Structure 1
Amino acid sequence: MENEKKKIKDSHEIGGFLRGVEIIGNKLPHPAMLFLILSLIVILISHFVASTGASVTYFDAKAKTEVTKKAVSLLNKEGLAYMFNTATTNFTGFAPLGTVLVAMLGVGVAEWTGLFNSTLKKLLMNANTRYLTPIVIFAGIMSNIASDAGYLVVVPIGAIIFAMAGRHPLAGIAAAFAGVSGGFSANLVLGTTDPLLTGITNQALTAAGIDIQLAPTCNWYFLAASTVFLTIVGTIITDKIVEKNLGPYTGTYQPDNDPVTELESKGLRNALISLIIYCVIMGFLMFPHNAVFKSLQPDGEMTLKGFLHGGLIPGILLLFLIPGLAYGKTIGKIKTSHDIVEAMTTSMKSMSGYLVLTFFASQFIAYFGKTNLGTIVSFKGADALEAAGLTGFPLIILFIFLSAFLNLFMGSASAKWAIMAPIFVPMMYRLGLSPALTQVAYRIGDSSTNIITPLMSYFSVIVILMQKYDKKSGLGTLMSLMLPYSLSFLIFWSLLMGIWILIGLPVGPEAPLFI
């Protein structure tokens, strides 16, 4: 009885804390204005730090050269000119902007015709809703194979699936976002991040005169196990904390729960046929040795690297557009080209708030990068870790937490690793820790705090999506939803690393823990 009372008390304390985070966060100005305020703060801090002459010099593993970064003030002639001259390109060049808008043209058609609703109704007809959470989180983790596709596909569908199952749509967004972004490094197969980070690690090893070269598979064993582990942890956090704190859904969104008609079933069949045909054609364009979408790399290998970084988004557009057209044509929702344009226009109208928010968010992120504040913070943190004088597992844990902290200031995993790898990879190596272990420890910390930093490119996208289901949602709501995932992933993923080291398992093929 006492244990039950303690559990209830602890639950109330957790819920009260998260509710406090939400209330405080939502009392802040509109997220767009908050990014404006943060931009002004960065401008002021940059002037103060630059006046002290702060700078760092390091070997950049990506550029293969020594680089000096000085704090740059935005409150001088050059800084003011920079802010005015780049305001437009900061906005139009913001990484997720084109990605989101292009993909939404196809997603909008699939949603407008009713393809999403009918598909999900068919899938959920006999499904056990208790398995929805692990399915959504697992799909989110696996989606990082396709770069940013998870943010555009899995997160919105997570909300719809939960709503149609009678669950809170914000819980669906939170679960999907946790998988896509919090579990960004985990996967059962290799993704684009693996060769990218491993290449930087190898450059750092070469620069330090260490005769070791890692394969892109060097973290595969640990990250594959992490996929299952994070799915379990994320499911518990969603069902036991996040969804309970949200309570019953009282928003205005009403999913269509009418039975699937015979005409809709025919439309789904035609949509599936068109999807299969499209996938077969895309497979032919992507996977044969001299496929159209493969490009020749400097090392002579034909790969899909260029397509995955540029052509995948138009591919996602067609992935939704073609089945959406087949479904809409079958049920009579699409009769002429005017209907297609109306569907796309409707989806673009829903993105107007995102465009406003993106303008201010893009300025903040650009200013932070221009001032070099993130780089300076990274190096000061590195100096502190080196001065701690720890070794073994305590050093790995401290490194994970440092990576998680620095991720709050620098969103790009590769840019941050290009700065950190030349410092930490040789340092850990000399203390007996393998470069593969150092790299995977970095990936744990880097992924865990993706979901709570406004510097993450898609953070504003998630805020706008939440407001579709709850107009009162804001930055505080998202922070309170994602904080339990972030802390849990950071703590339990680190514990998994500890167990892995205790057992002595390699983190990947031919990738031992220690030298």
Structure 2
Amino acid sequence: MKEHKSKKFFGNAIISFSLLILITMIASLIGNKIGLQTSYLKVDAVTGNIESTIVGIVNLFHFSELKNIIGNAFVNFVGFAPVASFLIATIGIGVATKTGLLKHLFTRFGKKINRFWMTFFLALISIIITFISDTGFVILIPLAALFYYYNNRNPIGAIITSFVALISGQGINFVLSNLEYNLLPYTESGAKLIDSNFVLGNHTNLFFMIAGTISLAFLITYITEKITLYKLNKYPVTEEELIVTKSEKNGLFLAGIGGIILLLLFIYITIPGLPGSGLLLDMNKTNYLDQLYGNGSYFSSSITYLISIVLFVSGILYGFGSRAIKTKEEFSKIIYSSLDKIGSFLVLLFLASQLIAIFRRSNIGVVFNAYLIDLVNNLNFSALPLIVLIIIVVFIANLFLTSSATKWAIMSPVIIPSMMKSNITAEFSQVIFRIGESASNIMTPLSTYFIMLIGYLELYNKNDEHISFSNCYRLLWPYIIAIFLLWLILIISWYIIGLPIGFGTYPTV
């Protein structure tokens, strides 16, 4: 009995995050005292030049560091990206749910879709939507859960499916994503160490990404349908017959008109050269991708807000049209109640924000990555063994340093020259790096988005016990193993056969 209580105590996500904070601080103390430090080459994000950097472990128990941790706790929480995005998205989704709009839409469309294809399209959309930053984590996951719930399926299955597709599919897309765009300068700088005239295109790995997107969506669908949903208990759902009244039809019409107008308006302001357009673009740039993803662009950072506005306005219009909202008191109540039951989510976000800030401050992740990249440099592997080695190294490194840009800034000056010396192109090197991250993105608790998974699972948790790390990993392991093997097989096959990875680009020179 005591053992069972101990497991329940340490399995709690709040306790787990608190312990990880303590473990990080103790590790920083030990690492600092034994003098763990290293030097590495790094691509400067502004100039593109290669710089030598020395980094060591910071002792977080030092007086100044303890002062920093306590003094910046509020700043770390408020500045934690998912907090504002989650709150804004929850208001829009909450209003559309409370008025009955989402139930009407999801029940109506869900009845027409085969269950396998329902999951496949969810996985595919989740992968594709990664081109607009973190929007999928705060918009698509909760919408997917509601879609499954209203169609008498376990919403936890939808949460797992969408999360895995979003986190493993980052940068793997039909279109160039914001993340992939930000990696290009590092790839080009690394390649110029071997070829000073090297110029990197924007869509040089398009063919591989299309094949990868479709393969990944099918794999995730298969695991969800054949494994995950069988592991989950039957979710208690109250089945209701869908009877659409005249007032609900009026509400749906008003919501449709309002939503379409807003969507057209938002599309208009992302098109340059039209009267009053370009509001979200960096108009100091000439190339459209630079305008869309450049430092002066608000496109990626505002998408969640804009989608939330569409949901909010459509929900309100539906409420008035369907008579779900009759008075100003009901109007206010629906808006206020949109943020019900998120207390536990906010506590988890607070702890995650502190853990990530503290771990980043310790430099443990950077030092560990620098040691791993030294290993790659010293082993002198080439060709296929080098490809497999880098996939494994990136997989492990990503557990401790989750920022793709920071990792690639450290790794690209070593990985790309090593690859190019083995006649492997720089474009293919970036693909190898991205797929190395893919599977381990799912499992690291240091990811900004891992906490989102636990939070959403907690919202739909019907058990007396809170969601724990072990609950999550029990559901995630099949995806982690299968996705890692998928990428390994796909990348090795592509390399051996020599198929083009994009327009005019191949795995080898």
Please report the TM-score for the alignment, with normalisation by the length of structure 2. Answer: 0.91
Give the superposition deviation at 1:337.
Answer: 4.7
Q: Which residue of 2 aligns with 1:203?
A: 189
Q: Alpha-carbon deviation of 1:256?
A: 5.1
8 Å contact from structure 2 (residues 93, 143) kept in 1: no
State the Cα distance separating 1:377 from its structure 2 match: 1.0
Whether contact under 8 Å (1:58, 1:419) holds in the other structure is yes
Change over 3 Å in CA distance of 1:207–1:104 after alignment to 2: farther
**Amino acid of the residue matched to residue 495 of structure 1?**
I
Paired residues of 1:140 and 1:180 also in contact (CA < 8 A): yes
Equivalent residue for 1:262, pick from 234, 246, 259: 246
> SS in structure 2 opposite 1:197?
helix
State the Cα distance separating 1:72 from its structure 2 match: 0.5
User: Is 1:347–2:347 an aligned residue pair?
Assistant: no
Query: Are 2:260 and 1:276 equivalent residues in the alignment?
Result: yes
User: Aligned residues: percent identity?
Assistant: 27
Q: Retained in 1: the 8 A contact 2:499–2:507?
A: yes
- Matched length: 491
**Equivalent residue, structure 1, for 2:353:** 362
Evaluate the alpha carbon distance shift between residue 484 and residue 354 of structure 1 in structure 2; reply closer, same or farther with a 3 A threshold: same
Judging changes above 3 Å, is the alpha-carbon distance between structure 1 residues 504 and 208 closer, same or farther for their aligned structure 2 residues? closer
Distance in 2 (CA, whole Å) between partners of 1:199 and 1:421 is 10
Name the residue aligned to 1:295: 282
**Aligned twin of 1:304:** 292
Please show how residues 44-443 of structure 1 align to structure 2 within 5 Å.
44-63=26-45, 64=49, 65-206=51-192, 210-249=196-235, 251=236, 254=238, 257-289=241-273, 291-297=278-284, 303-305=291-293, 306-443=297-434
Three-state SS of the structure 2 residue aligned to 1:296 is: coil
Q: 1:27 to 1:390 in 2, by over 3 A?
A: farther
The residue type equivalent to 2:186 in the other structure is I
C-alpha spacing 1:279/1:37, structure 2 compared with 1 (3 Å): same
Partner AA of 1:36 in structure 2: S
Please report how far the alpha carbon of residue 27 of structure 1 lies from its aligned counterpart in structure 2 after TM superposition. 5.6
Partner SS, residue 58 of structure 1: strand
- Contact 2:99 2:318 (C-alpha < 8 Å) held by counterparts: yes
Query: Which has the higher mean CA deviation after the structures are superposed, 312-321 or 380-389?
Result: 380-389
Q: CA separation in 2, counterparts of 1:133 and 1:151?
A: 17
Contact 2:423-2:508 at 8 Å conserved across structures: yes
Give the Cα separation in 1 of the matches to 2:330 and 2:416: 56
Residue-by-residue CA offset, 1:61-114 (whole Å, 9 max, x unaligned):
134333221110011122111111111111111121111112222111111111
SS in 1 for 2:298: helix
Q: Check the 8 A contact 2:14/2:348 in 1, yes or no.
A: yes
Which residue identity does 2:151 align to in structure 1?
Answer: A
Q: Which segment is superposed worse, 201-210 or 478-487?
A: 201-210
The structure-2 alpha-carbon separation of the partners of 1:258 and 1:212, relative to structure 1 and needing over 3 Å to count, comes to same
Is the contact between residue 142 and residue 159 of structure 2 (CA under 8 Å) also seen in structure 1?
yes
Partner Cα distance (1:136, 1:195) in 2: 25
Q: Aligned partners of 1:411 and 1:261: how far apart in 2?
A: 50
TM-superposed CA distance for 1:44, in Å, is 0.7
Residue identity opposite 1:477 in structure 2: N
Matched AA of 2:406: A
Equivalent in the alignment of 1:10: none
Partners of 1:437 and 1:141 lie apart in 2 by: 20
The CA RMSD measured in Å over matched residues stands at 2.1
Q: Secondary structure at the match of 1:166?
A: coil
TM-score of the two chains, using structure 1 as the length reference: 0.90
Deviates more, 1:496-505 or 1:158-167: 158-167
Residue equivalent to 1:474:
468
Pair 79,333 (structure 1): closer, same or farther in 2 beyond 3 Å: same
Structure 2 stretches lacking a partner, 5+ long: none
Q: Deviations over 1:360-414 (max 9, x none)?
A: 1111111110111001111222222333333212221221122111111112111
Query: Is 1:492 paired with 2:486?
Result: yes
Q: CA deviation at 1:445?
A: 1.4
The more displaced of 435-444 and 326-335 is 326-335
CA contact 1:163–1:255 (8 Å) conserved in 2:
no
Structure 1 segments unaligned to the other structure (5+ residues): 1-22
